[in-house]
Amino acid sequence: MKYITGIESYSGQKRSAVTLGKFDGLHLGHQKLIDKIISYASDECESIVCAFDMHRDSLMTGRERREHLEPKVDWLIDQPFTKSLREMEAEEFIDRILYKVLRAAHIVVGTDFSFGYGKRGNAALLQEMADQYGYTVDVIEKERYLGTVISSTYIKDALAQGDVKLAERLLGYPYEMTGIVRHGKQLGRTLGFPTMNIEPEKNKILPRFGVYACRVRIDGKWYDAVGNAGIKPTVTDEQRRLLEVFVYGYDGDAYGKEITAQFCEFERPETKFGSVEELKNNVMRDMRYGERYFAALREKSGE
């Protein structure tokens, strides 16, 4: 997959099958659009995902989006939502961007896709101008879960409630975050349960502050874990968002390593305890919860 920033940097010489949108989280609805452009890809036609960067709190970092799309599409274009793009008339966007730059043969959009100045452009306008510019248009219906349209907002609401299982159903994969293990106050090591701290990127959403059963990847291997997402109010007033994980069965030195944590199930909300001893007792309960959670999973899968 070729990755570029800015549509004007596109240099492909073939016709293309292109889908456009925010693609925050690459949920099941987004995946329908992407599957469609992949179905059009051939030796004469390349698949392009054009993702508009809105600079808002997001479900997915730019790097995570690249990693998810890497084995699937030919091009990923990160398009900043610039002033010139906001003010471009819809017809100019079709002529200048879709036709002249991207050489679109197939355009795939959702039912609510809009573009151009004042959001005048929509699926109907794309279809109206299809013959003139020689492309086809596929308007893909929204994916639903139990009757509700799957959207980034729906997933964010689920995460705000700590419902990471629902978020996983809507995304089609576990919600996760990646970061470098940083040195902290090493309180966990002092209390007998060494932990790893990773900090989310600035705009990456953390689920509801609290304790979760997690899966953690270190050096390419997955481990069971239990983690606290939040600000550790018992031991600091910094208000610094962190995910602190205790990883079962790992006894190596992870400092400086990049690890990925997947959120499996919410246990309890983050709490400011009255003492470090009370914190320790609750963390011990959290660790036993994690052991039971993963033991039940293994029993269910017959491992």
CA atoms within 13 A on the CB side of 11: 5
CA distance 259 to 268: 23
Inform me whether the pLDDT recorded for 240 exceeds 90. no
pLDDT in tens, 61-117: 999 999 999 999 999 999 988 888 889 999 999 999 999 999 999 999 999 999 999
pLDDT in tens, 143-175: 999 999 999 999 999 999 999 999 999 999 999
H helix or E strand, kind and range, residue 179:
strand 176-180
Largest CA distance in the chain: 73
Q: Which of 50, 53, 26 is nearest to 98 (CA)?
A: 50
pLDDT at 222 (0 to 100): 97
pLDDT in tens, 28-57: 999 999 999 999 999 999 999 999 986 678
Q: Is 279 exposed, middle or buried (0-12, 13-18, 19+ CB in 10 A)?
A: buried
Helix axes 152-160, 164-171, angle to 10 degrees: 160
CA distance 81 to 29: 22
Q: Which of 143, 146, 137 is nearest to 106 (CA)?
A: 137
Inform me whether the pLDDT recorded for 188 exceeds 70. no
CA atoms within 13 A on the CB side of 217: 10
pTM flag (> 0.85): yes
